[in-house]
Structure 1
């Protein structure tokens, strides 16, 4: 279904869409910053020329329009059938989000890469670890991770992927700093458990939510306050886990 809209309204929508994805990624970056060692902070500060993890967290999305970065377009996600586990699927020859995270870690650890290359891959790593904790980035190929599942969000047409990428978070009406302060607080023992899990564990843990979301998302369903109330705690927990896991990886790289 297509709608005619004025140019002014059209461009205001584009601006809002570009803003929506920032909040969640910046929360992940800020949480990670709060769990870095001093040594890691100093090395990250050098690589990013004083920029924060929160500020660079959306870089991987910002470069999508540049054709020279087309090769990383598939690095934001991995498609997994609901009845399979990650290790059971055939991997994309051009890479996927797991490949991307491991590649970034490899570059950051290796002495053979220069500052520019390490800075680039650090920015990507911050973003991709955030993406990995968004359940629809591990969704089905046939509906493009929920992008092709039309739904209504507070009366406006949207899709399942966008709801989980941005709209649950934005409807909470908090800045990224406010939201980062409103996340669940884990005990030191809980944090230790989370950061010691493997990346494959993160995938399968997130996919528990992916399956649940698909079961509850028949096309054209009207979603609003009840759906947000039910799923906002999941979003908050995933953002926090992404942040502390990112910090753990960076602390190990820069120890």
Structure 2
């Protein structure tokens, strides 16, 4: 099961590369999604942890980080899910507007409460709940990524071609994985798998930096009845960071010797969004599955 999942994800990424794309809806790369899942897993209530473990075990998995990138792997076979990974809030807009940014609920803001409802419905089939868990873990991470909460007529930054630390890339991919990998020295293998050991160790380090006050602030208002409002707040927060940092700190061309400065400005923001994602995911799972 896990090998088939990895091969499917690698096939999708290779197809995207062959088409000249950089997987605009990927959001965090597998490292980022695994970091968020690992931080969340450390803060699940005992009963919730047991239920999550039972759902994971039904497909031969043991940890949340093993399924955190599954929604990226199935996009080729289920293209309808593509728009669920992000929300196109115009970069110059004040914030999220459902009628403009999320038609027919096809955006990450609407999908978070949708899949939380299915996961929490114990009358739903096991298969439905497992799939809902996979989407929920992924999408709570996606909505924290600034490039997934903005629209600047450049395909989420994919059209902004750049060279970052000597590697040809684009703005979206830098925020997906470039900043994370450079800061934490984490790398994706050629088959798109990751080494979970270093990633889990990095998640522990990030988790230890979070203060009790930050945990309280980041989870304020998270409950099963108002999860849509929480998702909107997270998207608006990510949108502001896209405008202020992702684009605001991007120097005008020609960009010479800019990577180090941009990394220093962007990494604290990326680190904080990963930490927020982990803390918020734990709170969503606890409120969704808590009895």
TM-score higher than 0.5 = yes
Query: Equivalent of 2:89, from 69, 80, 104?
Result: 80
Q: For each residue in 1:46-92, what CA deviation from the matched residue of structure 2 results, as whole angstroms up to 9, or x when unmatched?
A: 111152111110101111222xx211110010111123210365122
SS at match of 2:65: helix
Residue 190 of structure 1, CA deviation: 2.4
Residues 1:205 and 1:133: Cα distance change in structure 2 (over 3 Å): same
Report if the CA contact (8 A) 1:40-1:250 is conserved. Answer: yes
Report if the CA contact (8 A) 2:149-2:236 is conserved. Answer: no
Q: For residue 125 of structure 2, what is the aligned residue in structure 1?
A: 114
Residue 176 of structure 1, CA deviation: 1.5
Report if the CA contact (8 A) 2:249-2:262 is conserved. Answer: no
Report if the CA contact (8 A) 1:147-1:160 is conserved. Answer: yes
Q: Partners of 1:171 and 1:182 in 2: how far apart?
A: 16
Deviates more, 1:176-185 or 1:121-130: 176-185
Q: Partners of 1:21 and 1:98 in 2: how far apart?
A: 19
Matches for 1:116-131 after TM superposition, within 5 Å: 116-131=127-142
Q: For each residue in 1:162-196, what CA deviation from the matched residue of structure 2 results, as whole angstroms up to 9, or x when unmatched?
A: 00001111112043123213326223232122111
Q: TM-score, normalised by structure 2?
A: 0.76
RMSD: 2.3
Q: For residue 266 of structure 2, what is the aligned residue in structure 1?
A: 231
Structure 1 residues without counterparts, runs of 5 or longer: 1-10
Query: After the TM superposition, which parts of structure 1 deviate over 6 Å for at least 4 consecutive aligned residues?
Result: none
1:211 paired to 2:247: no
SS at match of 2:104: coil
Residue 112 of structure 1, CA deviation: 3.4
1:185 paired to 2:209: yes
Report if the CA contact (8 A) 1:150-1:220 is conserved. Answer: no
Deviates more, 1:98-107 or 1:195-204: 195-204
Query: Equivalent of 1:201, from 207, 220, 233?
Result: 233
Residues 1:201 and 1:94: Cα distance change in structure 2 (over 3 Å): closer
Residue 108 of structure 1, CA deviation: 1.0
Q: Partners of 2:84 and 2:253 in 1: how far apart?
A: 27
Residues 1:249 and 1:230: Cα distance change in structure 2 (over 3 Å): same
SS at match of 2:151: coil
Q: Partners of 1:89 and 1:224 in 2: how far apart?
A: 37
SS at match of 1:48: helix
How many residue pairs end up in the alignment? 240
Q: Partners of 1:230 and 1:238 in 2: how far apart?
A: 14
Report if the CA contact (8 A) 2:105-2:111 is conserved. Answer: no
Residues 1:196 and 1:155: Cα distance change in structure 2 (over 3 Å): same
